[in-house]
Structure 1
Amino acid sequence: MNYKEKLKLGLCLPEDIEEEIDTWHTDYEGDLSLIEYLGLTFDEYALYVENEKLYYEQLSVK
């Protein structure tokens, strides 16, 4: 289950994305890109990178 799926089910917090990114960098040995691993679209990930606060705000609205 990826970050976005866990988020939708309430199994993690938006801020947990940082831990998921760390896990991808240190422990993940698969073939998925970081964006695929997180389950995000390119636009969702770009928003997180460009404006983390706005990313979290948009998640709380959904």
Structure 2
Amino acid sequence: MSSRKKRTGPGLSSYVGLVRFYEEVEEQVKLNPYLIISIAIATSVIVILLKIFVPKP
């Protein structure tokens, strides 16, 4: 076994500035989960209805 101690320090991402960039970008659009589910269901229903009512050329 090795008698060396593991060095702990900042990760590679902090060296290249990714952590700092992520901390600066905290303004996000927050949407209600029910809105996302409703949009997904509405899109599915619209696609199904278009397949039924729009004739193929």
The TM-score normalised by the length of structure 1 is 0.23
Q: Which has the higher contact order (CA 8 A, sep 6+)?
A: 1
> If each structure's helix is expressed as a fraction of its own residues, which one has the higher value?
1
Higher Cα radius of gyration:
2
